[in-house]
Amino acid sequence: MSLAAAPPPPAARDRAVRRRPFLVRNARLLLVWGLLLVLLAVYVREAPQFRPREQRTIANSGLTLAVAGLGQTLVVLTGGIDLSVGPMVSLTNSLASSVTDQDSPRSSMWVAGALALLVGAGGGLINGLLVAYGRLQPIIVTLATASVWGGIALYLRPEPGGFIPPAFADLLSGTAFAQQALSLPFGLSWERPLPRAVFFLAALVALWLLFRRTRLATRIYAVGSSEGAAYMSGVHVARAKLWAYTLAGLAAGAAGLVTSAQTSTGNALSGNAATLNSIAAVVLGGASLAGGAGSYLGTLAGAYVIAVIPSVLFFYGVSTFYQQLFQGSILLLAVGLGALGVFRIRNRLERL
Amino acid sequence: MTERADGRGRTAIDADGANVANTANAPSRPGSAPAGGRTADGGAWLRRNRTILIPYGLIALLLVAAAIRTPGFVTPGNLRGQLVLASYLGVIAGGQTLVILTGGIDLSLAWNLNLSAILLTQIAADFSPAVAAAAALGSAALVGLVNGLGVAYLRIPSLVMTLGMNAVLAGLTLVYTNGSPQGDAPAFVRSLAVGRIGGVLPWALLFWLAFGAALIFALRRTTYGRRLYAVGNNREAAYLSGVPVRGVLVATYALCGLCAGLGGLLLTGYSAQSYLGMGDPFVLQAIAAVVIGGTSILGGAGGYGGTIAGAITVVLLQNVLQIVGIRPAGQQILYGLIVLLMLFVYGRGARVRE
Amino acid sequence: MPPLLAATDIAKRFGGVVALDGAAVACEAGEIHALLGENGAGKSTMVKVLCGVQPPDAGEVLYDGRPIAFRNPAAAAAVGIVPVFQELSLIPDLSVAQNLFMGREPRSRIGLIDGRRMRRDAAALLAELGFAGINPAATVRDLPLAERQLVEIAKAVGRKPRVLILDEATSALTARQVEHVFAVVRRLRDAGTAVVFISHRMDEVRDLCDRATVFRDGTHVGTVAVDGASHEQIVRMMIGRALREVFPPRPVPVETASEALLDVRELGWGEALRGVSLTVGRGEIVGLAGLDGQGQGDLLFALFGVYAGVTGQVLLRRRPVRLGDPRAAMAAGLALVPEDRKTQGLILPLSVSNNVTLATLPRIARRGVVSPGAERAATLTMRDRLAIKTAGPEQPVRFLSGGNQQKVSIAKWLLAEPSVFLLHDPTRGIDVGAKQEIYALMRALTAQGHGVLFFSTDLSEIVGLCDRALVMYEGAVVRELAGDDLTDANLVSAAVGVTETAVGGGQRAAATA
């Protein structure tokens, strides 16, 4: 088959549809990063000092949410939602604190880590199977499994406690380069301790950028954007959803490990706020709750906005009682602002 | 794309749908009674009425199980106590039924309930009980109204709107109470929740009876009810038929808020005071009651009759689990599993095709 | 030569409705084969069977002489059967390039998508097909409908199909773009591809196709060589009867100049409607004609208040109607029977009675409480008046046949007693008997003094039923036809003829009218 003998284009003056400019395409992303930078600037200015300890605190503050948010982003991109993220964080935290062993902290630490990730992925797989192959509503499925995960967490750890090896805590929440200086090109060197969280964040970003270039990512976007069109284009819709939920579970499991390391203890309620906050992070990050549009880079900034606000409020002497109030307000404000576009829709059937 | 109307997943009924279409040519009997395709086939009857049969069957099953395990369980006194507990959940789940009928969900009722309970006791310390009750119910309805405005006018998904609202309310409550709610339930709220007429008939049951009758009447016989089902099934067609879609949604969320407020009053009366976190268990329990009662989570199908049975089922189940010695953690697991099971029993979304 | 793709004796039902029964089509390699038939004849269902979207209930599909059954469209595409649908299969949030290469993205050695190569290949493919001006990096959502259709076609062609199925794939294109797509299709044919082509535009079929298979009511009527068959012959095969008989007689004096019930002045809505002015008189059926998607549907929605930001003026019985609110339109005396009865006209799971009374609830209720007696009486009146076949008022409408469903959709508005009915393709996909009943009903309505504004994709309905017809093109009324001028030929030439001149610009086209 040769199509080489193509006649000239029908009309050279056909108006070319341009790709929308960078600033327009990424407006939400730039907005949330701008907000985060402002908050960080305020924090640095208001904090009595900004030494490695404070740097570590800030870097750690949003890490759980940043990890869990990766999973929530994937699920929201398919047009679904995962309400079991928080309880899964609690469950894996409880699990990790229960299987570690004071006598052999190092080996049991690896066992705990592997087990937590496995349980997370398994729970996500169950969500995915119910949603994709059971054809049940994501909201109600994940609400129900949230109850189950929360119950299991309570069984494992009725009272807060348990043992987290200090080495593990340090691995995930400590600092690197505390002892020796790191030499950089151009004769520069880094002599100050760097929070390990920074490396994990860099890894998350790298992971996302690579993932973005897989076929799975394209399928996940396609399913969320238009399930019918995706099906017609030969996308295996159920499989894409299954992957999204499974990876979300895995991410929640990893977030449970981060929580374990940061709190050095197990608590069956430790992660529960992550459900609301991960959704808030995704929404702040500019992803569409209808699916198909959004980026983890936005969620990442959203996660840290949510995490940094309480610290900033603290410097202004606002009671911690206000924390939840602010987090809820941020979520509503973010969705509310995102929803203002509704008023530009001129076909009312599309905004019912 | 899958059509919403098909997403109701009544595949079992579809099977005899063709049957009905064939009989459509026969002259229709005037005064014909029930909805749907009528066949003499008993299996079809069972399938059609499963949303009633299953929850009441579950109740019977639970009662038998409890009676065998603890012979003293099935006594009039104990059953009356169970029904009173079910009435609290039933009122809360009433609002949730309405919202789920629109195809939405209200996750804010936990702290909406809690805030109104706290308003009741704290305001009653300084003002008359009537003022306190009015403030409590007013705040609950107002919260629902705001939810409704967000969902209807800004098109914020109900899940996110109410989840965010729940956090806002939790924060507000903490700030308002400084962490420890004060005051006691007014006497009339106490009698409403735990009092009995002539020492026999609980006021709460009577209230639930009236509440249920009003709700069922509203759903079946009022223009609001008709429009609610229309909106829940197909917003687009409802809008093109002149149904004020947004108005219906706002009213429904406001009513749901009001129900949460009423639930808050009853629970405060039951425990004589308000405390933080008193609403938390009721989110899932209310949804479980609605789902067990056969109301479709996709909206547009179901009603309060099933929810009544669902509420009784949930309360009985809780009691039986306690008797058997299962910890709250285990109960939580079981609720989740039962909701999932019920979703499978009542049907699912359609396969993506065409 | 044996056909490359052949379907024989295909049957397919949806619920109680027979879509196909004894349908057949056979397409050879190196042939462009038209699939013809009226709306609802089963063409689209056949296409869905051929490419694996719907499994047939009975019958056999042979590909290369071997029977095949696809589980999904992906399986059909894998062996070279690629459809292009009218309902777009493009992912709105992805780029043109991502859509073109969906499922076969070029990958680097480590398995990641090579985005740069994909965009380059996409640009090459688009250039090769001559679809200039489409940026591979643009998001599909931002493209106008015509460009999206071109991308859809490019997506299919890029898969190097052995069988290419075009189902109304050119409906939104300009005449120049259509010509261009045809050139591509001819080259594919010459290279040995089998092409199945479905279009409502008979001139396109004549222009492009080698043979044509005609369907009627889900059955195979015949296959003819396009050059050897006259236009009349094919039309007779499609409708199976003389054209005029099916329509009720027009009342003899057509008083078009009588009182204007509906007076529309300079209605505009973005690019979709441009200065539409028209009147509908008492007792008059006014048709909206033209090619698909020239703003006819938008006009009905704009009149009924579904669209925000509509400019111009609408008078009903000389009173201005507040635009942008269906309830205001209803109160003024307008009624809209929308295009898709299943998603817009009816609430399928609800009962006949609930549906019939939905628009007029306040009339059967007092202080918000519905009177069952009044409801039942209203429903039964409408059932008898429209001869709706139902097991009873409580039967869910989803169990009714298409024709009876449409009657329920109309009954809902009859009850509201509007002055003017806006009908959007009310006979689409319903059987001939029900069609005739709806035609008769429309005449009965006008006899009672109502006005009807009627959009149909079926030209014969416009000719047979309307007192006047307005031909629309690119959102403007370009021609008005009445009396003896209201013929198939004039309508087509107005719709198509305008197309030729309009390529230079819509404004000039409007001026020629």
Report DSSP letters for C290-326, one per residue: SSTTSSHHHHHHHHTT-BSS-EEEEEETTEEPPSS-H
Rounded average pLDDT over C86-91: 80
What is the DSSP-derived secondary structure letter of residue C20?
E
Q: Which residues pair with C225 in a beta bridge?
A: C211
Q: Which of B246, C308, C273 is nearest to A346 (CA)?
A: C308
Tell me which chain C residues have a C-beta less than 8 angstroms from the C-beta of B8.
Answer: 349
Residue B178 CB neighbours (<10 A): 10
Which among A2, A226, A349 is the nearest to C91, CB-wise?
A: A226
Helix axes A296-315, A322-339, angle to 10 degrees: 140
Q: Are A289 and A283 in contact (CB under 8 A)?
A: yes
B154/A276 CB distance under 8 A = no
The pLDDT of residue A154 is 93
Q: Provide the 8-state DSSP code for C420.
A: E
Tens-place pLDDT, residues C355-369: 999 999 999 999 999
Spatial distance between the Cα atoms of C370 and C365, rounded to a whole number of angstroms = 4
What lies within 8 Å, CB to CB, of A333 at 6+ separation is: none
CA dihedral A70, A73, A74, A75 (to 10 degrees): 120
The answer to the question of residue B130 being in a domain is: yes
- In chain B, the residue whose alpha carbon lies closest to the alpha carbon of A335 is B156
Domain count along chain B: 1
Is B331 an 8 Å CB contact of chain A?
A: yes
Could you give the C-alpha distances from A152 to A123, A260, C273, in angstroms and in order?
Answer: 12, 17, 60
Q: What are phi and psi of C434, to 5 degrees?
A: -65, -35
**Cβ contact (<8 Å) for A17 and C307?**
no
- Residue B10 located in a structural domain: no
The larger pLDDT score, comparing residue B308 to residue B344, is at B308
A31–chain B nearest CA distance, Å: 20
Select from A215, A226, A348 the Cβ nearest to the Cβ of C113.
A215
Cβ pair C133:A14 closer than 8 A: yes
pLDDT-above-90 percentage for chain B: 51
CB < 8 Å to A345, chain C = 308
Which helix H or strand E contains B305, and what residues bound it?
A: helix B304-324
pLDDT at C293: 75
Q: Chain C residues with CB inside 8 Å of B244's CB?
A: 327
Residue A15 pLDDT class (50, 70, 90 cuts) = very low
What CATH number is given to the structural domain containing B131? 1.10.3470
Contact C391 B38 (CB under 8 A): yes
A46 and A316 in contact (C-beta within 8 Å)?
yes
A234 → closest Cβ in C103, C133, C137: C103
Going by pLDDT thresholds of 50, 70 and 90, the confidence category of residue B37 is: very low
3-state class percentages of chain C: helix first, strand second, coil last, to nearest 5? 40, 25, 35
What chain C residue is nearest to B237 in terms of C-alpha separation?
Answer: C344
pLDDT band with cut points at 50, 70 and 90 for residue B18: very low
* Over residues C38-67, mean pLDDT: 84
- A336 interfaces chain B, CB cutoff of 8 Å: yes
- Residue C472's SS3 state is strand
CA of B174: which chain A residue's CA is closest? A321
Contacts of A224 in chain C (CB under 8 A): 93
For C380-387, what is the mean pLDDT? 92
In this prediction, residue C120 has a pLDDT band, given cuts at 50, 70 and 90, of very high
Give the pLDDT of residue B24. 33
Higher pLDDT, A83 or A320: A83
A15-24, B35-44, C21-30, C255-264: least confident range: B35-44
C393: closest chain B residue by CA: B32
**pLDDT-based confidence at B242, cuts 50/70/90?**
very high
| Residue A16 binned pLDDT confidence (cut-offs 50, 70, 90) | low
| Chains with ≥3 CB–CB distances under 8 Å to A | B, C
Helix or strand run (H / E) with residue C225 = strand C219-225
- Mean pLDDT score across all residues of chain A: 86
Q: Which residues in chain C have their CB less than 8 angstroms from residue B223's CB?
A: 361-362, 365, 368-370
A215–chain C nearest CA distance, Å: 7
Nearest residue on chain A to C141, alpha-carbon basis: A225
Kindly determine whether residue C112 and residue A347, on different chains, have CB atoms separated by under 8 Å.
no
Closest CA to B207 of B48, B92, B91: B91
Can you tell me the distance from the alpha carbon of A246 to that of B191, in angstroms, rounded to the nearest whole number?
50
As a whole number of angstroms, the distance between CA B232 and CA B250 comes to 13
Average confidence (pLDDT) over C181-206: 87
Q: Which two tokens stand for residue B296?
A: 């479709």
Q: Say if residue C89's pLDDT is above 90.
A: no
A295 to chain B, closest Cα gap in Å:
19
Rounded-to-integer distance, Cα B239 and Cα B237, Å? 5
Contact B36 C395 (CB under 8 A): yes
Instruction: Give contacts of A 179-238 with B, CB under 8 A.
Output: 226-228, 231, 237
Tens digit of each residue's pLDDT (9 = 90 or more) over A224-276 = 999 989 988 888 999 999 999 999 999 999 999 999 999 988 999 998 889 98
Q: Lowest-pLDDT range, A157-171, B25-39, C172-186?
A: B25-39
Domain with B169, as residue range(s), is: 79-346
> Is a pLDDT exceeding 80 seen at residue B255?
yes
In three-state form (DSSP H/G/I as H, E/B as E, the rest C), the secondary structure along A211-259 is HCCCHHHHHHHHHHHCHHHHHHCCCCHHHHHHHHHHHHHHHHHHHHHHH
Considering only residues A161 and A10, tell me which one the structure prediction assigns the higher pLDDT. A161
The two structure tokens encoding residue A255 = 């977030």
Choice between B71 and C365, residue whose per-residue pLDDT is larger: C365
Confidence band for A6, pLDDT divided at 50, 70 and 90: very low
Nearest to A2 among C77, C191, C344 (CB): C191
Rounded Cα distance, C239 and C466, in Å: 19
Contact C124, C157 (CB under 8 A): no
Structure tokens at A172: 């995930």
Please give the interface size between A and C, counted as residue pairs whose CB atoms are below 8 Å apart: 149
**Beta strands C273-281 and C451-455, pairing class:** unpaired
Q: C231, C51 in Cβ contact below 8 A?
A: no
The SS3 call for residue C164 is strand
Give φ, ψ of C97 to 5 degrees: -60, -45
Residue A113: pLDDT over 60 = yes
Do residue A148 and residue B352 have CB atoms under 8 angstroms apart?
no
Report whether pLDDT(B27) > 60: no
B316 in a structural domain: yes
Nearest CA in chain B to C330: B242
> Do B245 and A352 make contact, defined as CB atoms within 8 angstroms?
yes
Q: Running DSSP on this structure, what letter comes out for residue A130?
A: I
Q: How confident is the model at residue B3 (pLDDT cuts 50, 70, 90)?
A: very low
CB contact under 8 A, C91 and A232: no
pLDDT, average across residues B169-194:
89
Distance CA C154, CA C160 (A): 10
Q: Do B333 and A145 touch (CB under 8 A)?
A: no
**C384 has pLDDT over 50:** yes
Does residue B177 sit within a domain? Answer: yes
Task: For C211-229, write each residue's pLDDT tens digit.
Answer: 999 888 788 888 888 888 8
d(Cα B204, Cα C78) in Å, to the nearest integer?
Answer: 65
DSSP code of residue B301: S
**B149 close contact with A: CB closer than 8 A:** no
Q: What domains are defined for chain A?
A: 57-178+192-315+323-331 (1.10.3470)
Which range of A271-280, A331-340, B232-241 scores highest in mean pLDDT? It is B232-241
Chain B closest-CA separation from residue A344 CA (Å): 11
Give the whole-angstrom CA distance, residue B336 versus residue B36.
32
Residue C166 exposed, middle or buried by CB count within 10 Å (0-12, 13-18, 19+): buried
pLDDT digits (tens, 9 = 90+) for C385-441: 998 888 889 899 988 878 889 999 999 999 999 999 999 988 876 776 788 889 999
Q: How far is A255 from chain C (nearest CA, A)?
A: 26
State the pairing for strand pair C334-337/C365-366: unpaired
Q: Which range is least confidently modeled, A315-329, B97-111, C122-136?
A: A315-329
> Going by C-beta distance under 8 Å and a sequence separation of 6 or more, which residues neighbour residue A250?
A71, A117, A120, A121, A124
Reported confidence tier of residue A68, pLDDT bands at 50, 70, 90: very high
Cβ contact B239–A352 (<8 Å):
yes
pLDDT at A11: 38
Q: What percent of chain C has pLDDT over 70?
A: 91
Does B237 contact C389 at a Cβ distance shorter than 8 Å? no
Which pLDDT does position B77 carry in this prediction? Answer: 86
| Cβ contact B32–C394 (<8 Å) | yes
Tokens of residue C478, six digits: 């370009």
Query: Per-residue confidence at C97, pLDDT binned at 50, 70, 90?
Result: very high
Contact: B340, A152; criterion CB under 8 Å? no
Please determine, for residue B236, whether its predicted confidence score (pLDDT) is greater than 90.
yes
In the DSSP assignment, the letter for residue B94 is: H
A348/C139 touch (CB, cutoff 8 Å), yes or no: no
Q: Which residues pair with C5 in a beta bridge?
A: C27, C63
Report whether B313 contacts B292 (CB < 8 A). Answer: yes
Asked if the Cβ–Cβ distance from A135 to B349 is below 8 Å, we say yes
| Other CB atoms within 10 A of residue C200 CB | 18
Question: Inter-chain contact B354–C48, Cβ cutoff 8 Å?
Answer: yes
Give the highest mean pLDDT range of B225-229, C8-12, C232-236, C317-321.
B225-229
CA distance B176 to A319: 12
User: For residue A189, what pLDDT is reported?
Assistant: 65
The percentage of residues in chain C with a pLDDT greater than 90, rounded to a whole number, is 39
Please check whether residue B57 lies inside any domain of the structure: no
Q: According to the model, what pLDDT value does residue A167 have?
A: 82
pLDDT at C497 over 60: no
Report pLDDT for B75.
85
More confident residue, C154 or A15: C154
Cβ contact C92–A12 (<8 Å): no
CB-CB: which of A5, A16, A236 is closest to C135?
Answer: A16
CB–CB of A217/A295 below 8 Å?
no
DSSP C364: G
Here the ipTM equals 0.83
A-chain residues within 8 Å CB-CB of C92?
Answer: 225-226, 229, 292
Q: Determine the distance from the C-alpha atom of residue C389 to the mean position of all C-alpha atoms in its chain, rounded to a whole number.
A: 26
Tokens of A54: 């404070």
**Are the beta carbons of B3 and C342 closer than 8 angstroms?**
yes
Query: Of chain A residues 107-136, which have a CB less than 8 A from chain B?
Result: 130, 134-136
**By mean pLDDT, which of A122-136, A323-337, C158-172, C230-244 is the weakest?**
C230-244
pLDDT for B260 equals 97
Average pLDDT over residues A18-42: 85
Which residues, numbered 2 to 61 in chain A, qualify as contacts with chain B under a Cβ-Cβ cut-off of 8 Å?
none
Q: What domains can be seen in chain C, in order of their start residue?
A: 5-244 (3.40.50.300), 259-333+421-513 (3.40.50.300), 342-417 (no CATH)
Contact at CB, A6 and C131, closer than 8 angstroms: no
Confidence of residue B1 (pLDDT cuts 50, 70, 90): very low
B266–chain C nearest CA distance, Å: 29
Residues of chain A with Cβ-Cβ distance to B171 below 8 Å are 321-329
